[in-house]
Amino acid sequence: MLLSQLLASLNISQDFSDVSVSDIAYDSRQTKPGCLFVCIKGSASDGHRFAAQAAANGAAAVLAQEPVEAPGAQVILVPDTKKALSLVSAAFFGHPAQHDLKVIGITGTKGKTTTAYMIRSILEAAGHKTGIIGTVGAAVGEEAIPLPNTTPISYEVQKHLRRMADMGCQYVVMEVSSVGLKDHRVHGLPFAAGVFTNFSEDHIGGVEHKDMEEYLACKAMLFSMCPVGVVNADDPSVEKLLENSACRVYRYGMENAGDLRGGNCRHLNLPGLLGVEFTVAGDLSFTAQVGIPGRFNAYNALAAIACCHQLGIPVEAMERGLLSVRVKGRVEPVPVPGNYTLLLDYAHNAVSMESLLTTLREYEPRRLICLFGAGGNRPKVRRYEMGEASGRLADLSVITADNSRFENVLDIIEDIKIGMHKTKGRYIEIPDRREAIRWCLENAQDGDIIVLAGKGHEDYQEIDGVKYPFDERVVIREILDSPGQ
């Protein structure tokens, strides 16, 4: 691609020599001959310091927001290189969100991943191949490419959008984090719709946000980038969020007046499936059944319904998509031959475990069994708190390994037991996680709910600096298929 074609997206048409550009790089170590190097200022390093190295590696041109020395490469100055990287990356990959895909952006403190999967499930039930970019990676179907951030840097966003378009996707659902918006990782991306789930304290301090006001202001940026904003009318921050929005607003909620209202929320307990069901009123009228447990998931489902309604998706697809939705590693059901329920979940701290176990307790299991460990080389207080949470809320805790990293798993288990001993909860210790899972399967009783907590979507176990393959879905299948099961 010609440099002039990339710079046209920045409204630059003169004061440079046109050359062919082979790729775009934002890390000097990844610079290849003929590429365009973009100097990005990050929290840990400043790409402007490496412009000369990028030129030495063969960069044909350098985009910078301050003067740099780059012998052999032409330097083009722009006001903001993060915004520039987003725009030139979109041009380099052929503007996939403008020409080939409809992209739905989801922001909020909680519920982004689940809502994204619900929207994808509905769209696919309507016959639209749909990709996801977010916490679990860049996924099409069962194939997921891991990502370093929920919302990756703009070049990676555009690269994945192009890949998804080339794979035949018509839609992409993207989790848009507040930090991603702050860093302009989706700058200039034409979203078909934006969704707001909720707002609460999180991501304050360090390199994230200085205070709650900045945190909300960054989330609000999404609603100046889409024609319609689908927002939670029950969240007290919603009016502040929309102060400077340029989009048409569509409201959903369970309590306050909105275009779409949910009500009569109740548990759904079917063989091998825990979920919720609720009535939908307002612009649509039907009963939604959701294949994920927890009343809070009724809000996520209502957000998905409202968004898909704005996209013109029929109710029949909403009904099928919500009942069949599965979120990898988030209260994910695993088929088992017995009359009990087996779930996988990513809960790996006390807050998430408390929420998970409290939700599952509402389904009145015969026994609630929680298998979990704790990460090595992490604050010990987390282990105490997790032990106490499981001891209070589970009928039986199976304490085992997680990612022990460079610690001895037995030492980690002893720390977990400190918290466990603050309760009257029953527990057993099985340090080998595979054997702990085997014990749960062999000792399950009718009506039990067994949750394997901590790994979720992860497919490895980290021990002594080595990541060993460990996908709990595979482990469960191997155990069930082994002789004697």
Could you give the C-alpha distances from 280 to 177, 240, 303, 305, in angstroms and in order? 28, 26, 11, 9
**The two three-digit tokens of residue 251, written as one number:** 């409201």
Rounded distance between C-alpha atoms, residue 215 and residue 156, angstroms: 23
What's residue 313's pLDDT? Answer: 98
Give me the residue label for tokens 């078909």.
192
pLDDT less than 50: residues of the chain:
203
**The two three-digit tokens of residue 72, written as one number:** 């052999």
Identify the DSSP state of 21: -
What's residue 54's pLDDT? Answer: 96
Is 60 in contact with 3 (CB distance < 8 Å)?
yes
Rounded distance between C-alpha atoms, residue 273 and residue 380, angstroms: 35
Using DSSP's 3-state secondary structure scheme, residue 299 falls into helix
Rounded distance between C-alpha atoms, residue 442 and residue 163, angstroms: 43
Question: Angle at CA 280, nearest 5°, toward 278 and 285?
Answer: 130
Rounded distance between C-alpha atoms, residue 328 and residue 318, angstroms: 20
What's residue 43's pLDDT? Answer: 76
Tell me the whole-structure pTM to 2 decimals.
0.88
Is 176 in contact with 222 (CB distance < 8 Å)?
yes
Identify the DSSP state of 224: G
Is 85 in contact with 9 (CB distance < 8 Å)?
no
**Burial of 132 (C-beta count, 10 Å sphere; 0-12/13-18/19+):** buried
Could you give the C-alpha distances from 389 to 164, 266, 451, in angstroms and in order? 41, 25, 14
- Report which secondary-structure segment, H or E, holds 238: helix 238-241
Is 191 in contact with 105 (CB distance < 8 Å)?
yes
Rounded to the nearest 10 degrees, what angle do helices 154-166 and 81-92 cross at? Answer: 20
- Report which secondary-structure segment, H or E, holds 468: strand 466-469
Residue of 311, 329, 321 lying closest to 453 (CA atoms): 329
**CB proximity list for 256: less than 8 A, separation 6 or greater:** 233, 234
Residue of 62, 65, 66 lying closest to 34 (CA atoms): 62
